[in-house]
Chains A and B, each alone.
Chain A
Amino acid sequence: MRAFTYERAGSPAAAAAAVATQPGAKFIAGGTNLLDLMKLEIEVPTHLVDVNRLGLDLIETTPDGGLKIGALVRNTDLAADMRVRSDYPLLARAVLSGASGQLRNKATTGGNLLQRTRCPYFYNTDMPCNKRKPGSGCAAMGGLSHNLAIVGASDACIATHPSDMAVALRALDATVETVAADGSERHTPLADFYRSPGETPHIETVLRAAEMITSVTLPQPLGGVQIYRKVRERASFAFATVSVAMVAGSVDGDIRVDRLAFGGLAHKPWRVEAAEGAARSAEAIADIVLAGAKPTADNAYKLPLVRRTLAAVIAQAKSESAR
Chain B
Amino acid sequence: MSLITLPNYKEQSPDVKERFDRLKKRSVKMTVNELYKTFDTKKGPILKNVSFSTYKREFTSVIGPSGCGKSTLIRLVAGLESIDSGSINVSGTEVKKPGIERGMVFQEYTLFPWLTVTENVMYGLLRQNRSKAEAKKEALKWINLVGLDNYQDAYPSQLSGGMKQRVAIARSLATQPEMLLMDEPFGALDAQTRARMQAYLLQIWRNIDISIMFVTHDLDEAVYLSDRIIVLKGNPGEIAEIIEVPISRPRSPEQFLTPEFLATKKRLEALIHRNKEEEAVPVIPTTDLVNEIM
A binds B: no
Interface residues in chain B, defined as those with a beta carbon under 8 Å from any beta carbon in chain A: none
